Amino acid sequence: MKNELGFNPKNIYRNLSYEEIREHEINNSEGQVTSLGAYTVDTGKFTGRSPKDKFFTPTDDLWVGPVNQEVSLSTWETLKERALAHYEGKDIYLSDCYAGAVDNSNRLQVRIISEIAWQAHFCKNMFIRPSEEELDKFDPEFTIINACKITAEDYQDLGLNSPVFVIFNLKEKMAIIGGTWYGGEMKKGIFSVMHYLLPKKGVLSMHCSANMDKEGHTALFFGLSGTGKTTLSTDPKRQLIGDDEHGWDDEGIFNFEGGCYAKAIRLNPEFEPDIYAAIRENALLENVVLKKDNSVDFDDDSKTKNTRVSYPIEHIENRVRPVSRGNHPEVIIYLCCDAFGVVPPISRLNREQAMEYFISGYTAKVAGTELGINEPKPDFSPCFGGPFLTLHPRRYAELLGEKLDLHNSRVYLVNTGWIGGPYGVGERISLPLTRKIIDSILDGSIEKHGYFTDQSFGLEIPNAIEGIPNEVIHPELAWDNVQHYREEAAKLAQLFKDNHDKY
């Protein structure tokens, strides 16, 4: 094994079954079994990604800027040597898996090494599980060494920002993780790698969810965290393709993942029945609070607002099978959570607007979501996935434009945030109302009554939608002062323009 990985482990627990992983989790006292049958763990200090600690070794076409930082090859070699030395003589969990549901060159063979059973559990949930026959001939094309128990105390000398590090060497086809236990670093790390590899083949890599009806009509849902991307794509009336990461090739849409990673905070079985039902044996909860009877208190955010659950996609009964892929999308929905209360809850975009809003990737952060945020703050993330892009955003936008021209997809913007005023004044649009809006898009009834052009954003807004109050469709009607609405809308529209001009 040393010739293959550079160290001699004590024991290799290779591609364990769910039953075997559960036994290790329990024997290692890594968490608890909940009353729902799912296992729950705490991810330590980090309950989310650590974007300021993500680095790449120098690569010619890497998009270096607000997201991607470079680190020297000498730092890479130093930390890689420490990670390998850390694993010498230790038990390891080795997970061989795929990123990409298609059985062709667009699929990446991934190997992940960790020393914590629940991290192997996370990988088994989130990546695609090869068959026994496929494992026999598995040849990893990218490796992650998760040495989460080590830190770089000499980080300043190494050119890092903290003792934590997540470093990718795209030429060596390897990444090392240190100092953070958060499972999402592995998932999103491979997503970044796919963002680097696929566009070079003409395949658009996307931070979006996808579903399909029984006739094969496919829809995509783009959106940043908290906008409803997972919730709205998990629809009892439609089959789920995937909830977060997809590619768009010449054949259609395909999922990168073999599972789902849903927010668990305030999970409501009435409004999100499919996600709630997925939380059972083999699911893995993160950072939730348990009651005395080991039931989950989904409303308790005392550990973090970013409580999560991962589960294999097989836990969603209403899914596309046997392969998580769909046809070219007829409908594309951009989701934003506007905390200023001015973005129309529903609007139709022309091609130019579709490109502009894709580059913008807008949502808003509200008070309490991050330290120091006391009022709504606009958040622009290019291509609705800025933290994971490894090429310049224009590269992905150009590919999207080509796909739109080829397949005539209709594009809509849906605001799942506030109306009648900003956060703290207005009200958030209810999930049932948003689902009705989505339904009208998917069944085409939104086109029945025509559109008018909004003054503030220049967007096409439907004159009416059956079952949706006028003050929801026409946001200025929900404000006490129409002039005040228009002034606030003009401010946000200018922020959109300023952000778009950067790219």
Mean pLDDT, 10 residues at a time, the chain of 503 residues: 73 97 98 98 93 94 91 98 96 98 96 98 98 95 97 98 98 97 96 97 97 97 90 92 96 97 93 94 98 96 94 96 96 96 95 93 69 69 94 95 96 96 92 95 96 92 94 91 93 90 81
Which residue out of 53, 96, 243, 244 is catalytically annotated? 244
Q: Does residue 462 contact residue 449 with C-beta atoms inside 8 Å?
A: yes
207 catalytic residue (yes or no):
yes
Give catalytic status of residue 230 as yes or no. yes
The long-range contacts involving 366-369, CB below 8 angstroms and separated by at least 24 positions, are 366/339, 366/423, 367/423, 367/424, 368/305, 369/226, 369/305
- 188 catalytic? Reply is yes
Q: Which of 188, 238, 246, 348 is catalytic?
A: 188
Catalytic residue among 225, 304, 369, 445: 225
Q: Which of 74, 93, 77 is nearest to 85 (CA)?
A: 77
Write down the catalytic residue from 54, 308, 365, 410: 308
Annotated catalytic residue, options 47, 192, 230, 307: 230
229 belongs to the catalytic site:
yes
Of 111, 91, 130, 112, nearest to 13 (Cα)? 91
Catalytic one of 111, 207, 348, 474: 207
For 203-220, b/e burial (b = at least 16 CB within 10 A) is bbbbbbbbbbbeeebbbb
- Separation CA 150–CA 132 (nearest Å): 33
Q: Is 86 a catalytic residue?
A: no
- Strand 218-222 vs strand 204-212: parallel, antiparallel, or unpaired? antiparallel
Other beta carbons within 10 Å of 359: 22
d(CA 374, CA 364): 12
d(CA 62, CA 60): 6
One-letter amino acid for residue 490 of the chain = A
Instruction: Catalogue the E-assigned strands of 355-466.
Output: 362-365, 377-380, 410-415, 418-419, 427-428, 451-453, 460-462
Terminal Cα distance for the chain, rounded: 46
40 is written with which tokens? Answer: 């729950």
Kindly list the strands in the beta sheet with 32-33, ordered across the sheet, starting from the edge strand earlier in the chain.
Answer: 32-33, 39-41, 284-286, 308-312, 259-263
Q: How many whole angstroms separate alpha carbon 440 and alpha carbon 438?
A: 5
Length of the chain: 503
Q: What is the pLDDT of residue 369?
A: 44
- Distance, CA of 233 to CA of 88 (rounded, Å): 44
Position 65 scores a pLDDT of 82
Q: Residue with structure tokens 């968490």?
A: 31
Can you spell out the DSSP letters for 83-150? HHHHHTT--EEEEEEEE-SSSSTT-EEEEEEES-HHHHHHHHHHSB---HHHHHT---SEEEEEETT-
Spatial separation of the C-alpha atoms in residues 370 and 481, rounded to whole Å:
30
Give residues with Cβ within 8 angstroms of 376, minimum separation 6.
Answer: 339, 340, 364, 365, 366, 367, 422, 423
Residues 213 and 225: beta-carbon distance below 8 Å: no
Q: 297-341, pLDDT tens digit by residue?
A: 999 999 998 999 999 999 999 999 999 999 999 999 999 999 999
502 is catalytic: no
For 353, the 3-state DSSP assignment is helix
Burial of residue 3, with CB atoms counted within 10 A of its CB: 0-12 exposed, 13-18 middle, 19 or more buried: exposed
